[in-house]
Chain A
């Protein structure tokens, strides 16, 4: 069974540009989550999808971040325009239901110059 996959693994862009991160959850997992780790800080929750619906987006930092999960399969996280403080590692996770452990991808390392 394939795990959670994220693309790209690394992205380096300039301040003001746009970047889109992609996450493919484990097949059959309705729950999809985005987290972020900024350098030196804890891994922080961003948002949670159940199928194509946003269940909880309380962790999204501001309106420069837009997450979508059209069709309830893969998800994208767009940052537009990117700012220096957006640098960090963005993790995606998925689970079958709320009471099952979340399985994480390898993350996307985002560097804003």
Chain B
């Protein structure tokens, strides 16, 4: 079985400041890793994914995440956030060959001017 820990339920930050949303996972088998984002009054959108290859993955809107196998982490970072980044961010894992996504509890990113 897999588990995902997002320790921070809320992260308040000022506009243009850097941010890191933490995600740690536990699994006895190899996994794929994902970050999903839910903007206010919208559904879940895939932000970025790690399937294989380079351990650093990037999204089109400036977020990046690095897969660290030894620390079983997949932290999400952005060097300078915008008001429009205010949303809830979910880290998720999926064991290779299985169908189930296991989600963390989510981190609400609150960006203020």
Interface residues in chain A, defined as those with a beta carbon under 8 Å from any beta carbon in chain B = 4, 6, 31, 33, 35, 41-45, 48, 55-56, 59, 91, 93, 98-99, 101-107
Contact = CB atoms under 8 A, between A and B. Distances in A.
B102 interface: yes
Contacts of B43: 4, 6, 91, 104-107
Contacts, number: 54
Q: How large is the interface on B (under 10, 10 to 19, 20 to 34, 35 or more residues)?
A: 20 to 34
Interface stretch (B45-53, B60-68, B70-78, B79-87): B45-53
Interface in B88-103: 90, 92, 96-103
Nearest to B104: A42
A41 B105 contact: yes
Interface of B: 4, 32, 34, 36, 42-46, 49, 51, 90, 92, 96-106
A102 to B, nearest CB: 6
A98 B101 CA distance: 11
